[in-house]
Amino acid sequence: MVRRRFPPATLALVAVGLVAGGLWWWAVLRLLLVPGEAGPVEAVMVAGGWGLSLLPVHVAASSGRPGAAARRLGRVPWRRRWGTGSGSA
């Protein structure tokens, strides 16, 4: 069996992520189960976590050559529009 060793920075990042996820779930459950006792800190944590969950969808890199997404959408990349890029428009 092969033993894989992970760098300490990776393990620390995973630990921080697990703690942050646990705190987020705690805030969600507190808002759902005892909304009268939950305060603005819990609400901000829940809203912030939900907002961060949208980030990977909107920041995903496109596959293919540079400018391929613009061509698919019918737009010309700005470098070619102003004549500073290589190739023809």
Q: Name the one residue in this structure whose structure tokens are 């976590």.
A: 49
* 3-class secondary structure, 37: coil
Per-residue pLDDT of the chain (89 residues; tens, 9 = 90+): 667 787 888 899 999 989 988 988 988 898 889 988 888 888 888 888 877 776 666 565 656 666 666 666 666 555 555 555 555 55
The pTM of the full predicted model, rounded to 2 decimals, is 0.52
49: CB partners within 8 A, 6+ apart: 24, 27, 28
Structure tokens at 88: 């023809």
